[in-house]
Amino acid sequence: MNTSPSYLMQTYSRRPVSFTRGHGARLWDAQGVEYLDAIAGVAVTNLGHAHPEIAAAIADQAGKLLHTSNLFRIEWQEQLGQRLCALSGMERAFFCNSGAEANEAALKLARLHANARQVVQPLVLVMENSFHGRTLATLAATGNPAVQRGFEPLVPGFVRVPYDDIEAVRELAAQTADIVAVLIEPVQGEGGVHAASASYLRALRQLCDERGWLMMMDEVQTGMGRTGAWFGFQHAGIVPDVITLAKGLGNGVPIGACLARGAAASLFSPGHHASTFGGNPLVCRVGCTVLDIMEREQLPARAAVLGRRLLAGLQATLGDHPDVVSIRGLGLMAGIELNRRCGELVGRALDEQRLLITVTRDTTLRLLPALICDEAQIDEIVVRVARLLATPAARQKTHEELQA
């Protein structure tokens, strides 16, 4: 059952549950019922709910200064930019308020890059099954017809290839000289939790170098430790030209960032791009506090350890389950693909297991627990997911059975 509050546009089918309080990986509703959160606000609250240091930073900064506009220097923004660049190998940062906006900034860099090279009809190479956001340009970049339907005409200038397939990229490159950039996620989260192979990303990096394409990594979901490294591209030992961040960067305060190095870092000059709210003292101070905590507690490495435990646990309990097609993931991004559409599991997980999960691409149950979970909580997630899939109600008819 979904509720549709009548004064809100119906962009979401919401569960009829509302949380009033959280602590770490736990949430409570208004009746005091406790839930275990295995999605962290869709890869946002990586440090858990109500983290005392984040709360203190917000309160202190709110009492000093929230916003001055980017017409003036903002010390917290400069510090955050410098620290993110040091961690990622980038050189300059632009701050905005969301993942889609970070990608918009990257796409505008690609257009300026094309302009400098006098490419009149530039193309950005994007992937099947990708997700880059819901603004007009980012939904055109997104490889999911459901996101695009009804919003035609789409922003032009994108060409699409299958993910993790270097031959497809080479073939396209042989057909057109208009490609100026590639936009890609190191792990496709919304696309069903698929990781690109390291060899593919290295070959793609090489192709970008040969052709003068900007390699732009959408790290909105994978960045900030989620995959067991600070950034997903680091697993492949490459460095992109542009990266975009958002979700985990603010642990719940809205902040996005587009980082670049080399020539791409100097493409924007005054007048090219802007954001009224972007990078204000509040969100940037929170971003710095997120980095303080992550560095001190070595959370990217923790995510790698916990992620291995999560995948091993899922494999041990569900590896032989008749409905399970595949169990995959990287760090604390895990997907369990079933042989059927399983959207109904989200509500049943809440009601029956007091567990927050998501389902992507209709058939993949996705887990994105906070990086601060302890071992017992990771094990508890496995137990509840296994119980969810073990109960008879989960045995809906498979596709083949329906055909028969």
Ligand X SMILES: *Cc1c(COP(=O)(O)O)cnc(C)c1O
Residues in the annotated binding site for pyridoxal 5'-phosphate? 99-100, 131, 218-221, 276
Binding residues: 99-100, 131, 134, 218-221, 275-276
Q: How far is the CB of 353 from ligand X (least distance, A)?
A: 25
Of 119 and 155, nearer to ligand X (C-beta) is: 155
Tokens of 333: 């991004």
Of 214 and 324, nearer to ligand X (C-beta) is: 214
Which residues form the interface with ligand X (CB under 6 A)? 98-100, 103, 131-133, 185, 189-190, 218, 220-221, 246-247
Q: How far is the CB of 99 from ligand X (least distance, A)?
A: 2
What DSSP designation does 343 have?
Answer: T
Cβ burial, residue 230 (10 Å; 0-12/13-18/19+): buried
Identify residue 212 by its one-letter amino acid code. G
Is omega for the bond preceding 153 within 30 degrees of 0, making it cis? yes
Q: How far is the CB of 91 from ligand X (least distance, A)?
A: 22
Position closest to ligand X via CB = 99
CA dihedral 46, 48, 53, 54 (to 10 degrees): 60
Q: How far is the CB of 52 from ligand X (least distance, A)?
A: 25
Which phi and psi (to 5°) does residue 146 adopt?
A: -65, -30
Q: How far is the CB of 103 from ligand X (least distance, A)?
A: 6
66-to-271, 282, 292 alpha-carbon distances in Å: 24, 5, 20
Spatial contact of 247 and 232, defined as CB atoms under 8 Å apart? no
Q: How far is the CB of 86 from ligand X (least distance, A)?
A: 23
Q: 82-87: which pairs have CB atoms within 8 A and are 24 or more residues apart?
A: 83/288, 83/291, 84/245, 84/257, 84/259, 84/287, 84/291, 85/259, 85/261, 87/230, 87/231, 87/291
Q: How far is the CB of 113 from ligand X (least distance, A)?
A: 20
Of 81 and 189, nearer to ligand X (C-beta) is: 189
According to DSSP H, which parts of 225-298 are helical? 281-296
Of 54 and 333, nearer to ligand X (C-beta) is: 333
Give me the residues paired with residue 336 across strands: 327, 365
Binding residues for N(2)-acetyl-L-ornithine: 134, 275
> Which of these, 15, 52, 19, 25, lies nearest to 369 by C-alpha position?
25
Angstrom distance (rounded) from CA 314 to CA 268: 46
Of 51 and 366, nearer to ligand X (C-beta) is: 366
Of 37 and 218, nearer to ligand X (C-beta) is: 218
Of 190 and 380, nearer to ligand X (C-beta) is: 190
